[in-house]
Structures are given as C-alpha cells and as structure tokens.
Structure 1
Amino acid sequence: MSLTRSLVDVTPLRISPLFRRLLIGRTVSVLGGFMTMVTVMFQVWDMTHSTAWTGAVGLAQALPLVVFGLFAGAWADRADRRRVYLTATVGQAACSLLLAVQGFTGHVPVAAVLLLVAAQSAFGALGGPAAGVFLPRLLPREQVAAALALQQVAGQSMMLLGPALAGVLLGWFGIGVCYLLDALSFGVAFYGAFGLPALPPEGEPSRAGMHGVLDGLRFLAGHRVVRGALLTDLAATVLSFPVSLFPLVNAERFGGDPRTLGLFLSALAVGGVAATGLSGALTRLARPGAVMLCASAAWGAALLLFGLSTSAWAGLALLVVAGAADATAVVSRTTLVQTRTPDALLGRVTAAEQIVGQAGPSLGNVRGGLLAGWTSGATALVTGGVLCVLAVAGVAATTPELRAPGTPRAPGAPATEPGGG
C-alpha cells in the first residue's frame, strides 16, 4: 500500500468549496474553544482557589448539552439547519464577547462567569445537531468518512495547540484578550457556514416538542446499527475512560512527576492526530462498523496494558495507541450515524450522539475515580479495559449488521453537492 493512500484522504477539500470553508471555520472555532476552556479554568481558579468551583465549570458545560440537546435536535429537524447553525454561532460569539467584557473590567461574581459558560454551551447544543447534517448533504456518500477524518485531524491538532497558545496569551495579555479571540473565531465559523444553501429537512419535519424527541428516541431504539454505534461509544467511555485516574497512576507508578502527568493527555492527542493523518486506507475501506468495533476494542486493550505498565515510556506509547484508536472509532462511529440516519431525523440523532459523547467520559471519570478509591489506579484501569473489550465484543456479537461491509446512504440523502461553486 502506497504512502499516499495511507494519508488522510483530501478529496473532499478538492471537490467541495463549501466543505473547505466549513473546515476552515470549524478549525478556527475549535482553536478558540480550547483557548476559552483553559481561560475559564484559569479565571475561576484565580477567583476562588477552589476545586469545587473549577469542577463546576465542567458541570456548566455539560448540563445544557444534556438537558437541551434532544430538544435542540428536534428543532433542527423542523427548520433550515443552516439558519439554526448561524443563529447558534452568533449566540456563542455573544457569550464570548460578554466573557471578554467581564475579563477586561473584572469584579464579576464567579457565578456570572459560569452562567455565561452555560449559556454558550446551550447555544452549542443547538448548533451541533444542525451541523450534523452538513456533510451528508454536501458530499457524496463515499466521501463522508474522509471529510470526518479531516475534521478530526484538525480538531485533534487544535487540542494540542489551543491550550498551549492560551497559556502564552494569558501570560502576555490576560483573560480578556483570550475571550475576545474566541469571539472572533466564531466569526470565522459564521463565515464558513454563511455560503451554504438552505438545508431544510428532507422528508417529514419533526413534530413539535416532546413528540419530536420521542420520535427520535424510537428511531434510536429500533435502528440496530445506529444503536450499536452509540452503545459501543458508551462502552468505551463509561467503562474505561482514564483521565480522572492519571494523577493517581502517575503517583503510584511514576513517582508523581508532573512532567509525566502533563504528557499523558498530550500522548492521547498525538495518537489521535497520527491516526487521522494516516486514515486514508480506513476511510476508503467502506467498513465503518468493523473499523469502529476493532478500534474501540483496541482502546480498551491499550488502557488495560497501560494499567499494567511500570515504564513511563511504555505507558506513554500505549496512550498514543489509545488516542489513535479513539480517534479512529470516533470517525467510524460518526460515519455510521451520518450515513445510516434519514435526513429528517439526523438532527435528533446527532444530538443524542453529542450527549453520549459528553456524558460517557464524565461517567467514566466518576466510575474510575470511585473504583480507584476502593482499590488502586492500576486496578481501575485494568478492569475498565477488560470490561470495555468484553462490552464491545458483546455489541459485535449481537449486532452483526455492524460487521457488514458498505455504508448504505440513508433514505432521502442526495448523492451530489447542492450549490457547489
């Protein structure tokens, strides 16, 4: 196999000017988001010196997504998704501007900062389901996986760059400038989506309120492939998410060296960037279900071995493998969701995927922390890895459709890009 075919497939960038603009806007916005994440944590800690308050930042980010996500998905399935996304982007930018104002002026209660963070997260809960329909509507079916891989490698790269850049800018200019740059990044995201054609739902629009939400849940319960994809993600995150264990494992195995601890998360990101950068062969394979199952099992196995490792370098290498497996699983899972879901339901299903992606790691961190408190960090990692592999094997055994080749297009999804210029 040639190196060219192994590299991430850039065909979507060549054939779709609309996708190029979207990717640029999304990448800049993700960079701003990671900068704001670090800035908020820094500001809240500086204001309170309380881990309870810094923990509340995560709650402020997660709760709106969980509470409003499915309703936002139902709304996206009733309206022009382009307009919904643009509205959400303006709302997020406004929240960042208000954060910048309070950052420049100071003397704002910490609760007000968290309220703005929660409001921005609520707008994100609205925009995410709308954006979930963009790629299946703008690209041919066989290019959706490649486009998702391009988004993933850009996002992973920003995860490496964003926190480091935020640290430098915080030291030079303070919190107000970081928040202002995030607001400007949403402007780039707005520009990226502004040229899209109208994207109303194809097929019967969602019913209003709870009826539309329940219709989406009934689809999730009845569609074996999409349900299996989300269950696999839950198995990987709830049963084996490792981040809360890193400080304890670092203390138990590696002498509590802060340099080692800092490298743990970086190793996951490096693996993610490497895997998506070399994803060409997998995205051309057109077997996203099988790839997702193998990658999710590899994630669990790598974390199991990390729990057994006594060498810092071997441990970091295993985390690189885990990060690569996670990124591969994410691209494959999202490909399944976006190509197997009818367009009229895609907003709600994307919202459910977002909720799983947010809640799963949080629950996994709680599970790992509690089990490590009763046993040890290594035990929590090993048992989590074993349970993850077993759960993924169970999903594979009970959902043979996931192992089948091909990614049939969901009913109603067009095969060509509308409005491309």
Structure 2
Amino acid sequence: MDTRPLGVPAYRRIWMGQAVTHVGVGVTVVAVGQQVFELTHSSFYVGLIGIANLVPLVVFGLWGGAVADAVDRRKLLIVGSLIAWTATLLILAQAALGLDNIWVIFGAVALNSTGFAITGPTRGAIIPRILDPELVPAANALNSLVYSLGAVLGPMVGAVALANGKFAAAYTVDALLFTASLYAALKLPPLPPLGEVTRPGARAVWDGLSFIVRSPVLLMSFVVDIIAMVFAMPRALFPELTAERFGGSMIALGWMTSAMAIGSVAGALFSGWVGRVKRQGVALSIVIAVWGLAVAAAGLAHELWLVVAFMAIGGVADVISSVWRQSILQLYAPDEMRGRLQGAFMVVVAGGPRLGELRAGAMATGIGLSGAWVGGGIACAVTVLIVGLSVTGFRNYRAR
C-alpha cells in the first residue's frame, strides 16, 4: 500500500478519524436492524431503514455538494459532523430511555443520513485541496481500507456489545468513537472556496449535473458503476442462498455478508500499484467485468468457502474500481465543481446497490435464484465492456 498521504498531517487526522468512526458506524448498523426487528418482528420494517437512509442521501447529498462549493469546507464538515453526532446521541437516548418506538428510530436514522450526506461530498472535495494530485489515488485507496475495515470490525464489535449490554451499550460505542472524526474536522485549516462561487440551490445542483453530462469521462465513470451495482449486486439473495444450499446456517450468512469487505481490505492493503495505472477508463471497465464474473462464479458455487472466495475476489475488484472512479472525479473536475460532483457521486454509490437489490429480488421471484445471481453477473461483465470501451473519450482517458 502507498502510505505517502499519511505523511500529510491534515489528511492523517482525517484518515485516523474515519478509521475509528467507521467501526462505530458498523456497530450502529447492526444494532438498529436488530432493534427494529425485535420491536416489529418484521423484515419489511427492517428494510424501511434503507429508505430512511436513502432519501436524505439523495436530497442532501446533492444539496450538500452544492454548499461545499460555496462555503468554507472545514466549517461545513464540522456542521455535518455535529448533525450526524446528534443523531447518534438521539438513537442512544431512545434506547437508554426504553422508548421502543420505531418511528423515533427512523427519524434519528434519517437525521444521521442527512449529516453523512453533507460530510461525504465535503470530505471528498477536501482531499485534492490538502494533497498533491499524484497522492490522490493512494489517499482514496487508504479511505477504502478504513471503510472496509469498519464493515468487517463494526458488526463484530456490535455483536459483542449487544450480547453484553443490549442496544444502549452498542450506541454508546458509536457515540464515543464518532468524536475522532469530529476532532479531525476541527483540526483542519480554513478551506474557503476557490474560483467562481455559485450560490447553492437548485441552479447550482443543475450546473453540477450538466457538467457531468457534458463530460464523457465523468459520465462514464458514473455509468459503469451503475452497471456494476444494478446488474450484479447479489446481497438481497444471500438469505435465499443460505436456506437453499447451506441449511439456513447463520454462520454461512455471516461469512457471505463479510466476504466482499474482506476482499476490499485485501485489495486496499495491496493497492500501491493502482496509482501508477494511467489508462484508467480501460482499466475501470476491465476491473468491473472481473467483479461481474466473480459474482457469477459465486452464484454457481455449492461450497461455502468457494462462495466466500469468489465474493472476496469481487470485493478486491470493487475497491480498485472505487479508487479509480473517485480519483477520476476528484482530479478531472475543477475545484469549484468538486463538491457538487462528489454529491452526485454519493447518490450513485448509495442508490446503485439498493436498485441492484431490488433487481436481484425481482428477478429471483421471476426466474429463480441462479438465474438472478449468475445471469446478473454475466450481464454486468458483458455490458460494461461493451459500453465502457465504446466511448472514445473514456477509452482513451489517461490520468492527469
């Protein structure tokens, strides 16, 4: 792994803050789902947690990105962090007081998602301001590492907290760990906007989206990610596969759920070569095709270790794809547009997997588990190579 970005104090604090905070986020994800299920005994209500997250991410992701282009990004990051921390404290309070009201939980989840929708684009737009351009891909690989570690460690810590102290203990862990991210934001230098400042609002959001449409390289970086997630994301099929092939074992379900994150950690740890790849358009198309084929292979496997191994390979491909997509976005766009483009990026990253889960569930109902899983992976690989390599600007793009 290329660790040179950690030599920059401002980035190092952000990275360490995220490393600690994402473990807490993983704890709350597990605890909220389990608490809602215990209150309702309904997977439908557990599924509604995703909607409570998605709507603020779409609305405030786009708006927060526009604001990030018009104000001091340090101040906006602090505001968004305080909103997210307040939401975590509300979730903790409802558990400690024993309110047992799912609508309070949904409201707190939506507020937390609002804070994340503001901080996500802002933090992404800050990275190119505090690092030299050649360090940006390495920084994105380091960011992917902490996200993946959080996805692996957070649920484990959450399970221990729930077993020993119930929900209030789990939410307390998140509330305490979140202070690391807030501290990193407070220690940043002032980051006022550069270039032409556009008043945040619908017009600013529209200008950002129009810039993407007019830029084939940026547009295709979004399109190939949507192809990857909508065609090949199999997460909604994990419970059915567990029941059909592994006797409903929760151990099997746990391994499948963690497999991608395990692969992502491995991919990020050995990502030093990623920043040296210049033809990122071609490379991105190829690595997403690998993701699709790995998913298809996992759907054909009847041994748990093979399913986990192939999904981990998919996780490696996914984290490399994420690094290149984020780097293209950060370095191709002018600074005065980066916040808005990061907001659009967040909407795609958040919405794509949820659309993919809807696609997978609907196809499994219509044509069966294997057709939905394997067919989606193969369709992803074929489609991304055709689409990604057919656009001349994207095919010929070389990293700046």
Matched, 1:264 2:256: yes
Alignment of 1:107-126 (within 5 A): 107-126=99-118
Amino acid corresponding to residue 353 of structure 1 in structure 2: F
- Residue of structure 1 aligned with 2:387, choices 381, 395, 401: 395
Matched, 1:358 2:350: yes
Matched, 1:169 2:169: no
Give the C-alpha shift of residue 150 in structure 1.
Answer: 0.9
Give the C-alpha shift of residue 371 in structure 1.
Answer: 0.5
- Residue of structure 2 aligned with 1:74, choices 27, 52, 66: 66
Paired position in structure 2 for 1:27: 19
- 2-structure distance, mates of 1:257, 1:93: 35
Alignment of 1:297-316 (within 5 A): 297-316=289-308
Matched, 1:275 2:270: no
Amino acid corresponding to residue 12 of structure 1 in structure 2: P
Contact 2:62 2:205 in 1 (8 A): yes
Paired position in structure 2 for 1:385: 377
Contact 1:299 1:322 in 2 (8 A): yes
- 2-structure distance, mates of 1:139, 1:77: 18
Give the C-alpha shift of residue 405 in structure 1.
Answer: 5.9
Paired position in structure 1 for 2:189: 197
Matched, 1:181 2:173: yes
Give the C-alpha shift of residue 128 in structure 1.
Answer: 1.2
Over residues 268-312 of structure 1, what are the superposed CA-to-partner deviations in whole Å (9 max), with x where a residue is unaligned? 111111111111112233443333222111000111122222333
Q: Would the alpha carbon gap of residues 217 and 193 (structure 1) be closer, same or farther in structure 2, given more than 3 Å must change?
A: same
- 2-structure distance, mates of 1:174, 1:334: 38
- 1-structure distance, mates of 2:27, 2:315: 21
Contact 1:73 1:349 in 2 (8 A): yes
Matched, 1:341 2:308: no
Unaligned runs of 5+ in 2: none
Amino acid corresponding to residue 392 of structure 2 in structure 1: P
Indicate the RMSD between aligned Cα atoms, in angstroms: 1.5
Paired position in structure 2 for 1:235: 227
Paired position in structure 1 for 2:37: 45
Paired position in structure 1 for 2:321: 329
Give the C-alpha shift of residue 258 in structure 1.
Answer: 2.9
- 2-structure distance, mates of 1:315, 1:177: 34
Paired position in structure 2 for 1:367: 359
Q: In terms of mean alpha carbon deviation, does 391-400 or 133-142 score higher?
A: 391-400
Amino acid corresponding to residue 290 of structure 1 in structure 2: V
Amino acid corresponding to residue 5 of structure 2 in structure 1: P
- Residue of structure 1 aligned with 2:10, choices 18, 31, 56: 18
SS state at 2:116 partner: helix
SS state at 1:197 partner: coil
How many residue pairs get aligned? The number is 400
Give the C-alpha shift of residue 216 in structure 1.
Answer: 0.6
Amino acid corresponding to residue 158 of structure 1 in structure 2: G
Give the C-alpha shift of residue 207 in structure 1.
Answer: 3.0
Q: How does the TM-score come out when normalised to structure 1?
A: 0.92
SS state at 2:248 partner: coil
Give the C-alpha shift of residue 46 in structure 1.
Answer: 1.7
- 1-structure distance, mates of 2:258, 2:27: 16
Q: How does the TM-score come out when normalised to structure 2?
A: 0.96
Paired position in structure 2 for 1:416: none
Matched, 1:140 2:151: no
SS state at 1:280 partner: coil
Q: In terms of mean alpha carbon deviation, does 291-300 or 137-146 score higher?
A: 291-300
Sequence identity percentage? 35
Paired position in structure 2 for 1:216: 208
- 1-structure distance, mates of 2:238, 2:71: 43
Amino acid corresponding to residue 114 of structure 1 in structure 2: F
Give the C-alpha shift of residue 126 in structure 1.
Answer: 1.2
Over residues 314-359 of structure 1, what are the superposed CA-to-partner deviations in whole Å (9 max), with x where a residue is unaligned? 2221111111111111111111111111111111111111111111
Over residues 59-93 of structure 1, what are the superposed CA-to-partner deviations in whole Å (9 max), with x where a residue is unaligned? 11111111222112111111111110100101111
Contact 2:25 2:150 in 1 (8 A): no
Deviating above 4 A after TM superposition, structure 1's stretches of 4 or more consecutive aligned residues are none
SS state at 1:27 partner: helix
Unaligned runs of 5+ in 1: 1-7, 409-421
SS state at 2:273 partner: helix
